[in-house]
Structure 1
């Protein structure tokens, strides 16, 4: 017997996109989670973005963290950024772990970057 979760999103079919010659996939078809920068009038990058893409081999995840004076991340690729994950939940867990690592505040961080990291970590609590 199969039990269905009424509140779970419907399973998405694999996307029929191909990687570019460098092994990266386009972001257009990916599921995105965006943590916007709450600064009034801000027109730049969001504080954090997580993207998930379902391909035939499994799930890819990408992260992008852009704090006040530091940042980092990786794109959708089978070779870099964690590789292929068997499920959406595994890909999302890996992406959240990567963002948590990138927003772990160290002693040498500026106050603005530490505050942005706090905002991203609060935003991460609401992602499922």
Structure 2
């Protein structure tokens, strides 16, 4: 069975995953060819709101790629988070100062606290 251009292979795309720029371009071109957004939802395997968001982003910003997201950039890498978790498990009585002294690029006490409150990073 041959797929038409632009269809998403369901096994290769995670749920709620971002559409690639190629898929966004295909959605825009099919919409300009006269396809309705409800038809495109079944063809591309995404929500109708995703189709409308893609079309609106193209109308407003003339872009098929995602726009930069707001918010603060990540302060510490996942590797450093895992190292903090390992140190805290090995030495449960250490203070934040002692943990910081063992790290090559020590984060603040509040960053260490928020890392230790969250669940450990996946291995």
Question: Which of the five TM-score ranges fits, normalised by the shorter chain?
Answer: under 0.3
Q: Which is richer in helix?
A: 2
TM-score (normalised: structure 2): 0.23
